[in-house]
Amino acid sequence: MNIMALISALPGAAAQGLIWGIMAIGVYITFRTLDIADLTVDGTMCTGGAVCIMMMMNGHNVWVAMLAAFIAGMLAGFATGFFHTFMGIPAILSGILTQLALWSVNLKIMGKSNQALNVDKYNLLVSLRYIKGVSIFKNTIVIVAIMIFVLIAILYWFFGTELGCSIRATGCNSNMARAQGINTNFNKVLGLMISNGLVALSSALLAQYQGFADINMGRGAIVIGLAAVIIGEAIFGRIFRNFALTLLSVGFGAVIYYLVLQVVIWLGVDTDLLKMFSAIVVAIFLAIPYWKSRYFAKPVRRGGTADA
């Protein structure tokens, strides 16, 4: 095991972690803010990349391509929200149905299972080539980090507005929110649209970074997103209590996840086991609050005070 090989690979892992951090922020909006386990993201993670790649191959500017990817992701979120609110289908099943439909949609968008860009012919915003030996204004890590800060600032502002607060209230207690006259169905649909828009935007960046879009690029994305959310909360939860800092911790969680993944690969662990490793990590971190409450909580005296 060559330590220099690990050090050389870490910037690429950090760049990929930042890109997936945008996706993880989208997962956080549904999983924590709306209290919905949205499985649409496995399909949307391919849709954004497919739309971005095809738009650029047809001569469109990279920013236009990324905007189109974001809108496509919002449409996917709208479909899930429509199934859930208008048709009364449980949220998790709605996400599965949309994810299933997106497999066919993604194939139609790309025309085949894989579409690659010649990185020398297109003006990409981010790329694996733009990590070392380029100016700071073109460095992938710097560009994606700036994008994350801008997105967090926008989301912090939005969720502080009356509409944003109503979305958070819907996720906190939908019955109470409805009793206060809040249109909870509209808020759920809007939250799913914002979430999947961010996932598609992350996918557009990932497709540029790796130079291609593939029909399988979103497989297991929800597990990576949840891992980033859980790791960020576990490490930074006690010091990052502000909503903006919480979103930032999710981004850090994705970076930490990919850095750890790179170390695991460097140690020679079979890469076929990486997804199982991710699933185990997520399961353990999700179980920690339950274990704390069941096995480590202080016993309460009959008078109502905990034992010292």
101 vs 147: CA distance, rounded Å: 30
214 vs 190: CA distance, rounded Å: 28
130 found inside a domain: yes
- The pLDDT tens digits for 109-142 are 999 999 998 888 888 999 988 887 677 778 999 9
295 found inside a domain: no
Instruction: Please tell me the predicted confidence (pLDDT) of residue 302.
Output: 58
72 vs 44: CA distance, rounded Å: 8
298 found inside a domain: no
Instruction: Please tell me the predicted confidence (pLDDT) of residue 205.
Output: 96
> Burial level of 118, CB count in 10 A (0-12/13-18/19+)?
exposed
Q: Quick one: which of 34, 35, 55, 7 has its CA closest to 204?
A: 55
- The pLDDT tens digits for 1-16 are 678 878 888 899 999 9
253 found inside a domain: no
191 vs 237: CA distance, rounded Å: 23
Tell me the whole-structure pTM to 2 decimals. 0.92
Count how many domains the chain has: 1
**Structural domain boundaries, residue 100:** 3-220
Instruction: Please tell me the predicted confidence (pLDDT) of residue 131.
Output: 86
- The pLDDT tens digits for 255-272 are 999 998 888 888 888 878
Which H or E run includes 115? strand 114-116
99 found inside a domain: yes
175 found inside a domain: yes
265 found inside a domain: no
95 vs 76: CA distance, rounded Å: 9
293 found inside a domain: no
Within 211-300, residue ranges assigned H as helices are 221-236, 243-266, 274-291
In the structure, what pLDDT confidence band is assigned to residue 308 with cuts at 50, 70 and 90? very low
